[in-house]
Amino acid sequence: MIEIKNLSKSFGSLEVLRDITEKVEDGEVISIIGPSGSGKSTFLRCLNLLEVPTSGSVFFDGVDLTQKGVDIDRHRQKMGMVFQHFNVFPHLTVMENITLAPVMLKKRPKADAEAYAHKLLARVGLSDKAQEHPRRLSGGQKQRLAIVRALAMDPEVMLFDEPTSALDPEMVGEVLAVIQDLVRNGMTTLIVTHEMGFAREVSSRVLFMDEGRIAEQGPPEDIFNNPQNPRTKEFLGKVLR
Amino acid sequence: MFTNFFPNLGRVLEKYWGLFIQGAGYTLLLSFITVLFGTILGSILALMRRSRNKPVSGFATGYVEVIRGTPLLLQLYLFYFMLPELLPMLNLSKFACVAIALVINSSAYVCEIVRAGIQAVDYGQTEAARTLGLNGRQTMLRIVMPQAVKNILPALGNEFVTVIKETSLASTFFVGDLMTQYSTVRGSMYLVIEPLIVVGAIYFILTFSLSKAINAFERRLKVSD
Ligand SMILES: Nc1ncnc2c1ncn2[C@@H]1O[C@H](COP(=O)(O)OP(=O)(O)O)[C@@H](O)[C@H]1O
Ligand SMILES: [Mg+2]
């Protein structure tokens, strides 16, 4: 589904991603772990070209997104993204947050979009919040809204960048539960996370990033129980305590 | 000298209250025109400054810097004398020349107000919108601008207050504003201080009530945030 070839990214003289080649298959659930500053967010953001790669290619459904003339907006519709800080739209109601893009970009009739939104809201336990403004929601509710907003576009893949890192501890579970539900239903997912228990439980594959490279990868059992790379060992030693 | 102050004040008001009201009217009209067209022109300039096209953004930046870096009085003189020579067929009135100069001056300040208002919107909003597939223009219109307006409107109100005071410089060209009326009254009554106090009081009433209104409006915006 996504094929990354020789992807590099620099900010000025700072090399953040170094020649990454990787493939994401349909239905895979990939956790990306690694120390802060190792390039996890940049990697994820290069997949939908929020960051423009310095060199290399990102193929999505066979199309090289880095080529000039590619309608990136159309491809982004199929790649949902959820951010650490939710980024819900504060000037819109919960319902408007969800229906804005489908109505504007997919030309869905408003009534259909709203019916679908209600279904999605029910799925994440926010049925009673449809007419609220986001300022009335807790952090966990905002993040669930952000997930629903992305799902309303029927994406083929979901990208999560530390979706629980900005949450109070008691709200982490409700958001992880929603992601877990998605994953169970077969959504292709890439998630940057510090929740090692979650990564171990839900992912089909774990990527360990270090200094702009994928330093080690494999099934979660291997990475967590039997890491090979000394940097992976060191990192897990620090976070798994 | 001050023994006659209050009687004189009374005489000034009694004889010329109509002129002062008229002057206040012109001042408000001139200010309104300035802020209205200054806002339109300033918003266009702000969008130009954000343009990726270098000549376009460069022109807007230069315009703003030059206007903000030179005195308004100088600009008034320049336009007052230059416009009729440059565009003789338009037959521009004194009032029009002064108004154009004020609009051009104000647009540079409004440009910065709009730019700051847009910049104050969290960049994450733009990223979230672009991620959903909205293009740059859709993102600006549906996501960024509606939020930026809340920052921009109160600042525009304050610009209105500033402009009301600045229009007094236009009286150099006797365009009928409050300060012009002051000169008229001073000339005919040989009184300097008393009419000045009256005019000052009117300016203050205008700006003070406007400021209060803006504050109230700003509080309401905050609540609905
Ligand atoms: N827009 C940017 N401009 C300059 N440097 C950046 C930018 N984004 C990220 N970086 C730098 O790139 C490196 C990797 O960042 P990031 O991908 O956010 O790491 P991670 O998500 O693994 O913590 C960091 O050193 C960070 O400071
Ligand atoms: Mg990060």
* Complex-level ipTM: 0.92
A131 CB under 6 A from ligand 1?
no
- Choose which residue among A14, A36, A43 to substitute to test ligand 1 binding: the one with the highest number of ligand atoms within 8 A of its C-beta: A14
In which domain, by residue range, is B127 found?
2-224
pTM, full prediction: 0.85
| Contacting residues of B for A90, CB less than 8 Å apart | 147, 225
Percent of the residues in chain B that have a pLDDT greater than 70, as a whole number: 98
Mean pLDDT for the stretch of residues B60-71: 96
Residue B126 sits at φ, ψ, to 5 deg, of -65, -45
By CB atoms closer than 10 A (0-12, 13-18, 19+), residue B204 is exposed
Distance from CA of B145 to the nearest CA of A (A): 10
Q: What is the CA radius of gyration of chain A?
A: 18
Q: How many domains does chain B have?
A: 1
- Enumerate residues 131 to 150 of chain A having a beta carbon within 8 A of any beta carbon in chain B: 135, 146, 149-150
Write the CATH number for B218: 1.10.3720.10
Instruction: Give the number of the atom of ligand 1 that is nearest the alpha carbon of residue A212.
Output: 14
| B193 vs B213: CA distance, rounded Å | 30
Q: Which letter, b or e, does each residue of A181-196 get, where b requires 16 or more Cβ atoms within 10 Å of its Cβ? A: ebbeeebbbbbbbebb
Nearest by CB to residue B131, choosing from A81, A85, A100, is A81
All residues of chain A having their beta carbon less than 8 Å from the beta carbon of residue B130 are: 50, 73, 76
Rounded to 10 degrees, the C-alpha dihedral B125/B128/B134/B138 comes to -10
Question: B220 or A88: whose pLDDT is higher?
Answer: A88
- In tens digits, chain A (241 residues) has pLDDT values of 999 999 999 999 999 999 999 999 999 999 999 999 999 999 999 999 999 999 999 999 999 999 989 999 999 999 999 999 999 999 999 999 999 999 999 999 999 999 999 999 999 999 999 999 999 999 999 999 999 999 999 999 999 999 999 999 999 999 999 999 999 999 999 999 999 999 999 999 999 999 999 999 999 999 999 999 999 999 999 887 6
Residue B70, pLDDT > 60, answer yes
Tens-place pLDDT, residues B12-45: 888 889 999 999 999 999 999 999 999 999 999 9
CB contact under 8 A, B125 and A89: yes
